[in-house]
Structure 1
Amino acid sequence: MSVTVPTPLDVATRALQPATGLGNTFRARYQQGIRTSPMNPHTRLVALTLASLASDTGEIPSAAQPGMSGLADATGLPLRQVVVQVRTLQTRGWLTGEWTRRNAARFQLALPLYVRSRLT
């Protein structure tokens, strides 16, 4: 019987998997995680703006989906800067969803496992 030892990439990938199952406390934990994160202020601004549109479970309803241009308007950041911040949030495991340059098909807040374990 052989034991597979995970590589550093395996461990890092697992740590970025979005956490689910927090129920009505999700948005509060998301906001707390964003506020205490070492992310730059523009990334935090975009994340907290999206959190303000989300339900307590982290889902952003279809009617409230802002799109990239809506996020730019809501944050006061240039559209290109919003695109960079959304990509940063997705890469770090804080946001899921498919989007085009100007409109989001579906944004969903996510809480990386490493943050979830820190907040519980």
Structure 2
Amino acid sequence: MPTPLDVARRALAPAPVDGTYRVRYIQGIRCSRMHPHTRLVALTLASYAGPNGTIADADQPGLLGLVEATGLTAGRVAVQLRALEGRGWIRPVRGARYEVAHLALALPQYRADQLRR
């Protein structure tokens, strides 16, 4: 099972063309050993995404939307978003601050040299 450090070292995978990106993302998050709050934020973001992992401009929840949807504090959601971004599970499409950033799902991918360890 990968550790958080393993996940953080992975490169972002290109989006599959078959429309299963969101499904793969959800499976990966559910199988991860991330903190429950991190998984909650990740799965909540996935509920806003389309099959290809993008979140439409009109559907971007923003920090306050994630606070409302998860029941976590704004500070806690921001910490979880930083963790997800650092581990390669989300990527900002526009904006640097989570209050206004537009996010997309991302799939970390093992490199062949990491699998042999």
Task: Give the alignment's TM-score, normalised by structure 1.
Answer: 0.79
Match of 1:60 among 55, 75, 79: 55
Q: How many residues end up aligned between the 2 structures? A: 104
Q: 1:63 to 1:41 in 2, by over 3 A?
A: same
Structure 2 residue identity aligned to 1:102: E
1:89 aligned counterpart, secondary structure = helix
Corresponding residue for 2:13? 19
For the aligned residues, what is the CA RMSD? 2.2
Misfit runs of 4+, over 4 Å: none
Q: Which of 105, 110, 117 pairs up with 1:114?
A: 110
CA shift for structure 1 position 76: 0.4
Query: What residue in structure 2 maps to residue 45 of structure 1?
Result: 40
Structure 2: gaps spanning 5 or more residues = 1-5
SS at 2:20's partner residue? Answer: helix
SS state at 2:110 partner = helix
Q: What is the aligned partner in structure 2 of residue 103 from structure 1?
A: 100
Q: Deviations over 1:7-37 (max 9, x none)?
A: xxxxx7x942211131301000000000000
Whether the aligned pair in 1 keeps the contact of 2:9 and 2:87 (CA below 8 Å) is no
Share of identical aligned residues, percent?
49
Q: Which of these two proteins has the greater Rg computed from alpha carbons?
A: 1
Higher strand share: 2
Report Cα offsets for 1:29-73 as digits up to 9, x if no partner. Answer: 000000000001000000000000000000000000011111111
In the superposition, the TM-score normalised over structure 2's length comes to: 0.81
Matched to 2:41, the amino acid is V
Letter of the 2:64 partner, please give it: S
Q: Give the partner amino acid of 2:54.
A: E
Structure with a larger share of its residues in helix = 1
- The runs of 5 or more residues in structure 1 that have no matched partner are 1-11
